[in-house]
Amino acid sequence: MRNRRVSVWLVMAAVVIWVLGSLGVAAGAEPDNYRFTEAEGPMGNGVPHAGVISASGDWDTSYFYVPSRGDVTLTLSTTARLNMFVNVYRYSAGGLVYVCDLGAFAGEEEVHQLDSGLYYVDAFVTDHYTYPAYPIAYQVTVSGSVSSSAPSSASTHRSGVHVQEINETDRSSAQNVSPFINYVGDISAVGDIDWYKFSVASRGEVRIGVTKVRGGAV
């Protein structure tokens, strides 16, 4: 039986989407696609990464690489005192694994032995202890076994691709999506529907993921 090329349509709303599977790419190549799609980086060894938390709910994300297992020093400097926190995650097997956290006091520093790989740093503010005054400036520094390029055994960070907003009226206007790319779309008004499509060359497993929704549910 000849393989048939099948077109599939997706309808999504204000999300980041990814597609992988029976499209001629190994599943192991699937990139990170949680809420870290727009992470800044890579962070340099010993170079302070500065940022600002502009309002409640604002999260800043950056990434760095560890070329080989070794000690990495994490330093947080902030004006928020008790309210500022940093979480560190390692990308592994298509997902993110919590590694450690840092926070509470300006100038806090910790040393952790990290395995080779791709890491994400998530900076945020909580009002659990006091009510902070925004904006809040901070600096996060990683030093030690840190590299600006991915080791051969690790995944490489991939940023999201913003989809043009064209207010599709039906699936005939659906936009093409490719495997292992994080697509970032927006809903511009009430009633706006975004359509996407991809083709499957042969029968096989296809995974479709929704990774982040801003301002509501899908």
Please check the confidence at residue 213 and state whether its pLDDT lies above 60: no
Q: What is the pLDDT of residues 62-75, one digit of tens each?
A: 899 999 999 999 99
- Domains in the chain (CATH in brackets) are 6-31+158-213 (no CATH), 49-144 (2.60.120.380)
Q: What is the pLDDT of residues 43-54, one digit of tens each?
A: 999 999 988 888
The predicted structure's pLDDT at residue 32: 34
Please check the confidence at residue 195 and state whether its pLDDT lies above 90: no
Please check the confidence at residue 16 and state whether its pLDDT lies above 50: no
What integer best gives the mean pLDDT of the chain? Answer: 73
Q: Are the beta carbons of 113 and 69 closer than 8 angstroms?
A: yes
pLDDT interval class at 194 (50, 70, 90):
confident
**Portion of the chain with pLDDT greater than 70, in percent:** 63
Percentage helix, strand, coil for the chain under 3-state DSSP, each rounded to 5: 5, 45, 50
If phi over 0 gives left and psi between -120 and 50 gives alpha, with beta otherwise, what is residue 28?
A: alpha
Residue 181: Cβ-neighbour burial (10 angstroms; 0-12, 13-18, 19+):
middle
- Greatest extent of the chain over all pairs of C-alpha atoms, in Å: 67
Please check the confidence at residue 34 and state whether its pLDDT lies above 50: no
Please check the confidence at residue 94 and state whether its pLDDT lies above 70: no
- pTM here is 0.61
What residue has token string 């076994």?
145
The predicted structure's pLDDT at residue 44: 93
Q: Tell me how far apart the alpha carbons of residues 139 and 141 are, in angstroms, rounded to a whole number.
A: 7
167 vs 117, residue with greater confidence: 117
Length of the chain: 218
Q: What is the pLDDT of residues 105-141, one digit of tens each?
A: 656 889 999 999 999 998 888 876 667 788 888 899 9
The predicted structure's pLDDT at residue 204: 77
